[in-house]
Homo-oligomer: A and B are copies of this chain.
Amino acid sequence: MIAEILATGDEIRTGALVDSNSAYLAERLDSQGVEVTRHHSVGDAPAALRTVIDEISRRADIALVTGGLGPTVDDRSAEAAAAAAGVGMALDHKALKQIEDFFKERGRPFSLTNRKQAMIPAGADCLYNPVGTAPGFDITIQRCRFFFMPGVPYEMKHMFNRQVLPRIEEMQGDERQFNLLKTISTFGLPESLVGEKVAAVGDQFPGITLGLRAKFPEIQVKLYLQTRDDQAGCKMLESAADWVVRQIGRPVFSDDGHSMAETVGNLLISRRETLAVAESCTGGLVGNWLTNSAGSSSFFLLSAVTYHNQAKVKVLGVQEQTLIDHGAVHESVACQMAEGARRVADSTYGLSITGIAGPDGGTPEKPVGTVCIALVGPNGITARRFHFSFGRRLMNKRIFAMAALDMLRRELVAPIKKTDVQQEKNGNR
């Protein structure tokens, strides 16, 4: 079975919006063993919509269409589908009721234009939308089964996973294949070196193919396997993943899709330990990452974003003389920040970051990209200095925050007694 994906709307056609729906759907279909051959985008003009629906209907078995189901006059997907199928439009009473209820529950006025959303091509099977106002529909045109879904990513994903995917699985029947994927996330090694370490995975585990992906500042190793036997395939993939993890070693921080912040959070939760952070140049990014997951309140107590030096002194107890002697970006300042955060919050660990994100503020001795990170905990205190040469401010903030979380992760995975202040260049470890 082959599938094509169509994203509609003038915002996508004119580039006002980056279409992320198509990549999401392609990845979901691919993992389901459905081959995606083409993606398309057209605007809201009915003729253009009609033409592309027509083309797809003669070529593909499955078409996933997003967008154009809203209440306004610009939303023409349903009409275009009806025209391509040679049918009229019909009101779906259950969909209308759901839209009315949706507005009632939220105390918002129901306008007549919203009624338009309950009109779908005659004979199409309605895909109800419990999380928004635009229902989708399932209609066969020529040789192809079309699934029309809303363009809002959250609503689209909900509808795809609960309603469209089961229908596709039913279409697949015994033919069903699985494209299995396992992602191993690493931090701290360059892509080329990660590639060398795992290049032989296909020889060790025949049938498994390898992909590397730089998702700054992580390097991800992706293992793919196409199989009809879901269970045996999963087992083999797990063995291959174990082999990859052994090859790469400690730079692997996750083999289950968890981010660095989630990994650190889960380690702290399982150890029933707590964390206080002292940030400077990262501006709160570490705290923001750590609190993106529910449950973070059980380990995350504080992040003192002491951007100004006086805040470092008053909130964290950094000594003025240390700042005068060494400037804010120095191992001894980082140590005092980490200790201060731990003391104030009474946490198991204190983690600090002070650096130069740029574009200004660099010196020959401490260029933009210099960062000092300190970690204090039951096993003592460690401070390290890194020089990252990515140049751009937002990239520096991200890699500083990742390097800090990674230092804590390595401590939690295998604590080592340390008292030294170490120096490190270029972020190699």
Chain A 134-179 interface residues, beta-carbon cutoff 8 Å to B: 154
Within 8 Å by CB of A284, from B38, B276, B286, B344, lies B286
Task: Tell me how far the C-beta of A366 lies from the nearest C-beta in chain B, rounded to whole angstroms.
Answer: 15
Q: Indicate whether A222 reaches chain B with its CB closer than 8 angstroms.
A: yes
Chain A 265-286 interface residues, beta-carbon cutoff 8 Å to B: 276-277, 279, 281-286
Within 8 Å by CB of A285, from B41, B107, B284, B294, lies B284
A190's nearest neighbour on chain B, judged by CB, is B108
* Chain A interface residue count, Cβ-Cβ cutoff 8 angstroms: 86
1/0 per residue A407-425: CB within 8 Å of B?
0000000000000000000
1/0 per residue A298-310: CB within 8 Å of B?
0011111111101
Please determine whether A12 and B39 come into contact, CB atoms closer than 8 angstroms. yes
Please determine whether A23 and B19 come into contact, CB atoms closer than 8 angstroms. yes
- The stretch from A89-97, A240-248, A389-397 touching chain B is A389-397
A285's nearest neighbour on chain B, judged by CB, is B288
Q: Indicate whether A43 reaches chain B with its CB closer than 8 angstroms.
A: yes
SS of A interface (majority): mixed
- Which of A40, A41, A394 is packed against the most chain B CB atoms within 10 Å? A41
1/0 per residue A43-60: CB within 8 Å of B?
100001000100000000
Q: Tell me which residues across on chain B come within 8 A of A392, comparing CB atoms.
A: 154
Name 7 extra pairs, CB < 8 A, besides A15-B24, A38-B40, A284-B305. Answer: A7-B39, A11-B211, A37-B42, A283-B291, A288-B288, A295-B360, A302-B307
Q: Can you list 28 pairs linking A and B with CB atoms under 8 Å apart? A: A7-B39, A10-B211, A13-B36, A14-B27, A15-B27, A15-B29, A15-B30, A16-B23, A37-B42, A38-B42, A38-B48, A38-B52, A39-B42, A40-B40, A40-B41, A111-B192, A154-B392, A276-B311, A282-B291, A284-B285, A284-B291, A284-B303, A287-B307, A288-B397, A301-B307, A302-B306, A302-B307, A315-B315
